[in-house]
Amino acid sequence: MVLRLRERADLWSLLMPPTIWALHFLFCYLVAAVTCARLGGVTLTKPNPGASFASLESFQPWVIGGTAVALALIAISAWQAWRHSGFGLEDPPHDAATPEDRQRFLGYATLLLSALSFVSVIFIALPAFLILDCR
Amino acid sequence: MSETDHKTRREAQEERLNKVWASKPGWRYWSAVNNTEVGVWYTVTSFAFFLFAGVLALLMRAQLAVPENDLLSPGLYNQAFTLHGTAMMFLFAVPIFEAVSILMLPTMLGARDLPFPRLSAFGYWCFLIGGVFVCGSIFFNAAPDAGWFMYPPLTTDPKLTGIGADIWLLGLSFIEVASIAAAVELIVGVLKCRPPGMRINMMPLYCWYVLIVGGMILFAFPPLIAGDILFELERLADWPFFDPARGGDPLLWQHLFWIFGHPEVYVVFLPSIALMAMIIPTFAGRPIVGYSWIVLAAVGTGFLSFGLWVHHMFTTGLPAISLGFFSAASEAVAIPTGVQIFVFLATMLAGRVRMSLPMLFASGSLAIFVIGGLTGVMVAIAPFDWQAHDSYFVVAHLHYVLIGGMLMPLFAGAYYYMPLATGKKLSDRLGRWVFWLMFAGFNIAFLPMHFTGLRGMPRRVFTYPGDIGLDWLNLVSTVGAYIFAAGVVLFTWDCVFGIRRRKNTGANPWEGGTMEWISPLPAPDYGIRSVPEVSSRYPLWDQPELAREVAEGRWYLADAEEGKRETLVTSVLDGKPLQCLRVPGNSFMPMICAILIGTSFIGTAFHFYWSSLVVGLAGVFGIMVWLWHGTAMIPETDSKDIGRGMRLPLYVSGTQSVGWWAMFITMFGDMTAFASLVFGYFYYWTIHQQFPPLGLDGLPRGPGLVWPALALLLLAGAWGAMLLARARNSAGSATGLRLSLVSSAVLALASAAAMLWAPWQAGLQPTDHAYDGIVWVLLLWTALHLVLGVLMQAYCLARSLAGKLTTRWDIDIRNVVLFWHFAGITGLTTIAVVTLVPLLA
């Protein structure tokens, strides 16, 4: 529904970039949480020192891969939005009661969302390069 | 036709419209379902809960004014702060958004009403009953007392908490159902009930926010409902979901609570910002600068707000890498939030600002909110949060955010929109007093809390020792809180008494540009006189003749010849007229159903299980009666002329109908709750080295293969039979429809039975281990959906036998088949999870 290229902009294409962000976020969080939990993280049922030094190095390639895919998808979404918005030749506010302006508005808003999602994906990926074990 | 004839005709039309939309006199007034009545009740009730929660806050501040105070007992203090937070969030902040939206949205959209007025009324009565139940408990010394987030294990022990936790869980679950109902109503309203020509690029910004917030409610509230189910099962039946000794984990509750709780902050913040997005262009005298940027901000915040929940759990010992992700997202959300503020500033700079009371509140709120936002960026940094967590610094931060971001804009909105609701303005002179009392009082109360917090004062303590540097800061806070309260009291006085003495304002008192100001004030019950074609974001500024034409009834639906309540349904993107929708009129059924279902929730809290079940079933039956008489009504003719020669159908089904959309959206929320339960299952998987735990035979426990597989097969059969039922109905065979419905129901019940037999025969004891419990919960959830599906099938069968469901009039069967798609997916997922995980282990 959301991850699809289309000729005409609609509400689904508007939601595409932030949805990719959300999937990337979930991916990073779940992979990291599961890695740390399964590699002998903190168990709640038995006494333990409370910290796990399990290394996260094996986890980094996953984040790199996931982030690359997410950024590529957002770039595709941005390119599509650029096309919908009229290749930057049409200035906002896109407020006329015409199908063209509706299309341009949706394209422009999607383009802005792509930029936000792009930056946010990078934000989310950063901790994986700064924190190297499960402490 | 002469001018007099025109006038006579118009007056006759107005009389008919008035008659159709009027509320009944006397006690039957309370059967009203029209948005103008329900919206006002909703607003007044949630404001009353705000005052109640405010009084609790004042009691707490009085207790904390001096060290070693004994005004409130520790127990009562615990109840006061728990109920203060609970009522402010669940009974004021979220409901007031729904209230204001129900009241205002139709006027902004030039619609007569929202598509499901009785659902709004039902939501209101649920809210009232649940709210009174939860708040009333404090008068019996039985209120919840463990904080508004109810962390286990403090709260899972019934001996420790008494009945308070049950009241919280059941009362609020009941209200959450009402919130989801309102979200469905508002989303469908924004998408399908706009005036002709109002394309998606021309919607008032308020509508964008409502759309986003409605979507957020669908993803945020169901996880809490799922959490409530697990929690209540632990308290009432000893299923150990949060008990580490038996494989549970208290952190799972924190996850489910904050997956709800953090987006909820934005659920209350965005609608208030939406009010600012309506107010600022009016007083800047120009369209908003950067409409698309506001859409970016609303959508972006809506999404990012779901990546923040763990920042409430920074000190729980999660791995730093997890904290890192949530810290990053918490910083990222500052970007779209900041964008909105810059858009408002740019609009004010680009226009010529007329200073007025609403603008005063709007600017005050920006100032307060920015401070709250900055401390937010501070506590989003995990190491800082470790120091400030659970201290008064956080209390200061959250109040700056909520009062700056939610309450002050709401007051701005109240001053701005009061003429729309009552036809009169609030006092300008008193309003300035209100503002300065609130603004000054707020800062005097909460600014010192930053310092009390940094000096080490923890939250939720009923007193503190003297001479450790907290005395005078607390005293100042208390004085500020009372000054703030004086502002609120003055405002309330003006709303209740002062306003009666003031004159009517006439139409469009603020010279706004959006549709809500098009009608004369006070607006008649039917709302807009005729539904125009809109061709601008600010039609009152850009289409100067529009108001006159609308008032003269020259546009669509200017009449109600058939004596039915009608509104227009248009297409999602382009606002093309699709249908003239007949909406149901006044009825006591929503109130009766809410009372029955509310009673069953309340009865469960007091452990009257069987009577609760009976009353609950009566409520379900009541809902069916309501649906029978109020939905999918067969019109006397296929289509009608709505004016200007436009003919629209009166009955559409399938993806075109609003009912189908409502079912789709509701089931989306339902799937979120289900996904949260599945999340619970896999959460246990991650924390246990051996999962599922081993049984007596040394093999992983599980419900086995045979019975779940059989359940799945039967479910597939039931699902297929529903598709067949729809196909037979479309082919014109009523017998085929009925036979398919009956066979589907038999298969579904057999599937549900096999589903529950599976864990039973495998000897899974839900009280033994969280694993057994979560398997039971997943299977019970699915079986319950199948039983619900069977009820819907019975309803369709009855409709078919009564001649209300035919090949031409097929809304019911199409919507029920849609339900079955979701039930089928739920069943497939459940069976796959509960059988495959033990196999793989």
Whether B251 has its CB under 8 Å from any CB of chain A: the answer is yes
The average pLDDT across B474-485 equals 97
CB contact under 8 A, B287 and A95: yes
Residue in A95, A103, A108 to test binding to B, most B beta-carbons within 10 Å: A95
Query: For the segment B167-222, what is each residue's pLDDT rounded down to a tens digit?
Result: 999 999 889 888 998 999 999 999 999 999 999 999 999 999 999 999 999 999 99
Q: What pLDDT, on a 0 to 100 scale, did the predictor assign at position A46?
A: 56
Q: What is the mean pLDDT of residues B245-253?
A: 92
B446-469 pLDDT per residue, tens? 999 999 999 999 999 999 999 899
Instruction: Out of A36, A105, A113, name the one closest to residue B299 (CB).
Output: A113
Residue (of B242, B344, B338, B245) closest to B288 by Cα position: B344
CA distance A30 to B678: 14
Contact: A25, B689; criterion CB under 8 Å: no
CA dihedral B17, B19, B20, B23 (to 10 degrees): 120
C-alpha distance from residue B510 to each of A101, B286, B513 (Å): 29, 13, 9
Q: Which of B322, B536, B574 sits opposite A99 (nearest CB)?
A: B574
Residues of chain B with C-beta less than 8 angstroms from the C-beta of A70: none
pLDDT given at position A41: 54
Choosing among B203, B259, B292, B301, which should be mutated to test the A contact, i.e. which has the most A CBs within 10 A?
B292
Q: Which residues in chain A have Cβ-Cβ distances shorter than 8 Å to B335?
A: 116, 119-120
Q: How far A57 CA lies from chain B's nearest CA (Å)?
A: 12
Bridge partners of B63? none
Cβ contacts of B752 within 8 Å, gap of 6 or more: B711, B782, B783, B786, B787
Place B489 in a pLDDT band, splitting at 50, 70 and 90. Answer: very high
Of A44, A52, A119, the CB nearest to B687: A44
Chain A: nearest CA to B24, how far in angstroms? Answer: 40
CB contact under 8 A, B534 and A56: no
Q: pLDDT (tens digit, 9 = 90+) per residue, B64-104? A: 999 999 999 999 999 999 999 999 999 999 999 999 999 99
Residues of B in contact with A50 (CB under 8 A): 317
Between chain A and chain B, how many beta carbons pairs sit less than 8 Å apart? 143
Contact call for A38 and B296, based on CB within 8 A: no
Mutate to test the interface with B, among A6, A30, A124, A133 (most CBs of B within 10 A): A124
Average confidence (pLDDT) over A75-82: 92
Contact with chain A for residue B839, Cβ under 8 A: no
Residue B687 sits at the chain A interface (C-beta within 8 Å): yes
pLDDT at B610 over 60: yes
Is the per-residue pLDDT at A44 higher than 60? no
| Contact at CB, B534 and A10, closer than 8 angstroms | no
Average pLDDT in chain B: 93
Contacts with B329 from chain A: Cβ below 8 Å: 25, 120, 123-124
Rounded to 5 degrees, φ, ψ at B604 are: -60, -40
Q: Which of B82, B62, B213 is nearest to B141 (CA)?
A: B82
Q: In chain A, whose CA is at the least distance from the CA of B683?
A: A34
Q: Is A126–B324 a contact, with Cβ atoms under 8 angstroms apart?
A: yes
**Helix, strand, coil % in chain B, rounded to nearest 5:** 70, 5, 25
DSSP annotation of B803: T
**What distance in Å separates residue B294's CA from the closest CA in chain A?**
9
Q: Is the peptide bond before A47 cis (omega within 30 degrees of 0)?
A: no
Pairwise CA distance, residues B693 & B771, whole Å: 7
Residue B648 has pLDDT above 60, yes or no: yes
Asked if B320's CB is within 8 angstroms of A135's CB, the reply is yes
Give the total residue count for chain A: 135
Best mutation target among A131, A132, A135 (most B Cβ atoms within 10 Å) is: A131
Alpha carbon of A71: minimum distance to chain B alpha carbons (Å): 16
Cross-chain residue pair B321–A101, CB shorter than 8 Å: no
Closest chain A residue to the Cα of B200, Cα to Cα: A102
Residue B109 has pLDDT above 90, yes or no: yes
- Candidates A11, A108, A135; nearest CB to B572: A11
The whole-number average pLDDT for the span B612-620 is 95
Find chain A residues with C-beta within 8 A of B686's C-beta. 33-34, 37-38
List, for residues B294-350, the tens digit of each pLDDT value: 999 999 999 999 999 998 999 888 888 889 999 999 889 989 999 998 999 999 999
Contacts with B200 (C-beta within 8 Å, 6 or more apart), sequence order: A11, A102, A105, A106, B572, B573, B574, B575
Mean pLDDT computed over B654-670? 93
- ipTM of the complex in this document: 0.92
- For residue B680, pLDDT over 90 is answered with yes
Can you name the residues that pair with B799 across neighbouring β-strands? none
Three-state secondary structure call for residue B375: helix
CB A107 within 8 A of CB A84: yes
Mark yes or no for CB contact B324/A127 under 8 Å: yes
Q: Is B247 on the interface with A (CB under 8 A)?
A: yes
The answer to whether residue B303 neighbours chain A at the CB level (below 8 Å) is yes
List the single range of A86-90, B475-479, B541-545 with lowest mean pLDDT. Answer: A86-90
Q: Indicate whether B419 pLDDT > 70.
A: yes
Tokens matching residue B742:
């009956």
Radius of gyration of chain B measured on its C-alpha atoms: 28
| CA A130 – CA B18 distance, rounded (Å) | 67
DSSP class of residue B9 equals H
Nearest-10 crossing angle of helices B408-422, B94-108: 40
Which pLDDT band, with edges at 50, 70 and 90, does B151 fall under?
Answer: very high
CA of B687: which chain A residue's CA is closest? A37
| CA of B700 vs chain A CAs: smallest distance (Å) | 18
Helix pair angle (B164-192, B117-136), 10° resolution: 160
Chain A residue numbers with beta carbons less than 8 Å from the beta carbon of B386 are: none
- Nearest Cβ partner for A101 among B201, B318, B329: B201
Nearest Cβ partner of A128 from B247, B321, B535? B321
- Closest residue in B to A49 (Cα) is B317
pLDDT tens figures, B136-147: 999 999 999 999
Evaluate whether A39 touches A133 at the Cβ level (below 8 Å): no
Distance (Å) from the alpha carbon of B829 to chain A's nearest alpha carbon: 19
What's residue A124's pLDDT?
93
Inform me whether the pLDDT recorded for B1 exceeds 80: no
CB under 8 Å to B453, separation ≥6 — which residues?
B388, B391, B392, B393, B394, B395, B396
CA distance A5 to chain B (A): 18
Query: Residue A31 in contact with residue A127, Cβ under 8 Å?
Result: no
3-state secondary structure of B649: strand
Q: Token pair 């189910």 is at which residue?
A: B229
Six-digit token string for B398: 């959250």
Binary contact (B537, A95; C-beta < 8 A): yes
Check CB contact of B25 with chain A, cutoff 8 Å.
no
pLDDT digits (tens, 9 = 90+) for B30-49: 999 999 999 999 999 999 99
Closest partner CB to A45 (pick from B244, B296, B328)? B244
Per CB-CB distance under 8 Å, the chain B contacts of A10 are: 572-573
pLDDT band at A47 (very low <50, low <70, confident <90, very high): low
* Residue A6 pLDDT exceeds 90: no
pLDDT at A53 > cutoff 60: yes
Residue pair A22/B306 in contact (Cβ under 8 Å)? The answer is yes
Instruction: Quote the radius of gyration of chain A (alpha carbons, Å).
Output: 20
Residues 585-604 of B with CB under 8 A from A: none
Predicted pLDDT of residue B832: 96
Mean pLDDT computed over A108-120: 94
Nearest CA-CA distance, residue A13 and chain B, Å: 12
Please state, as a whole number, how many other Cβ atoms lie within 10 Å of the Cβ of residue B269.
25
Q: Indicate the helix (H) or strand (E) that contains B52.
A: helix B35-64
For residue B202, list chain A residues with Cβ-Cβ distance below 8 A.
95, 97
Sign of the C-alpha dihedral computed for residues B180, B186, B192 and B198 taken in this order = negative
Query: Residues B161, B146: contact at Cβ < 8 Å?
Result: yes
Query: By CB neighbour count within 10 A (0-12 exposed, 13-18 middle, 19+ buried), where does B29 fall?
Result: exposed
Q: Is B320 on the interface with A (CB under 8 A)?
A: yes
Question: Taking a contact as any Cβ pair under 8 Å apart, which residues of chain B between 618 and 677 contact chain A?
Answer: none
Neighbours of B9 (CB within 10 A): 14
Q: Mean pLDDT, to the nearest integer, of B804-830?
A: 95
Angle between helices B658-687 and B205-237 (to 10 degrees): 50
Nearest-angstrom CA–CA distance, B305 and B336: 11
A65 to chain B, closest Cα gap in Å? 17
Return the ∠ at Cα B397 (arms to B395 and B400), rounded to 5°.
Answer: 105
Q: How far apart are CA B380 and CA B378, in angstroms?
A: 5
DSSP string, B400-454: HHHIIIIIHHHHHHHHHHHHHHHSBPPPHHHHHHHHHHHHHHHHHHHHHHHHHHH
Instruction: Note the pLDDT of residue B505.
Output: 87
Question: Given an 8 Å threshold on Cβ–Cβ distance, is B296 in contact with A94?
Answer: no
Q: Calculate the alpha carbon distances from B725 to B662, B732, B787, B806, B817 in Å.
A: 21, 11, 18, 12, 9
**Inter-axis angle of helices B357-379 and B392-402, to 10 degrees?**
140
Instruction: List, in order of start, the domains of chain B with CATH numbers.
Output: 38-501 (1.20.210.10), 590-628 (no CATH), 684-840 (1.20.120.80)
Sorted by sequence, the CB contacts under 8 Å of residue B744 that are 6+ apart come out as B717, B718, B719, B721, B722, B725, B793
